[in-house]
Chains A and B, each alone.
Chain A
């Protein structure tokens, strides 16, 4: 149980275009999901907390207009990288908590390359 599915696993896009990444909780409802970014050989950096039915909470320094988060249902959160640039190339990972007191489950990640 407690599976988080993330798609796509890899995406290459042209500079200036937008890319959408999906994060789904497959066997549980997640009112809150989390989006992380990871640079090579570094740990995960929390970008934002996605709340079902309300606006996401962004960490300091993360541009909310560039990284659009939508959490329209209890099982789906999406991250859209708008007007992507090469510096947005990174590994993006989502996570959710199965229940209060449980640990966090992570998706398999999305490797974004902007050319």
Chain B
């Protein structure tokens, strides 16, 4: 059974700093690894999708990496802004199981 963990659970950083959010998973037979953002009381917004054959994806100030052998993914946010404050969730999509397994989330606060 896939288990996904995110560390840290909460993070506060000053505006402008670069930061890394971590995601680890126990079953490396993943199809995709997807990062989402959730604002309070809202649904999930997909940020980046990394397919199993890829090692990273980039979108603007965001870069996500995937290392299946070590069971890890990271989300790098460059030049953080107050608007980046949200909860970030990673989710693993395993082969043969059309279900997402979500991590516990990291609540990010960017301090102006």
Binding site for B on A (CB under 8 A): 6, 32, 34, 43-44, 46, 49, 91, 93, 95, 97, 101-109, 111
Category for how many chain B residues contact A: 20 to 34
Q: Does B46 contact A (CB under 8 A)?
A: yes
Total A-B Cβ pairs within 8 A: 49
Query: Is A105 in contact with B98, judged by CB distance below 8 angstroms?
Result: no
Residues of B contacting A103 in the complex (Cβ-Cβ under 8 angstroms) = 32, 34, 46, 49, 93
Q: Provide the main secondary structure of the chain A interface.
A: strand
Closest 6 CB pairs of A and B: A103-B49, A106-B44, A108-B43, A109-B43, A43-B102, A103-B34
A selection of 5 A-B contacts at a CB cut-off of 8 Å is A103-B46, A106-B36, A106-B44, A106-B45, A109-B43
Residues of A contacting B34 in the complex (Cβ-Cβ under 8 angstroms) = 103-104
Indicate whether A108 sits within 8 Å of B32 (C-beta atoms), given known contacts A43-B105, A46-B99. Answer: no
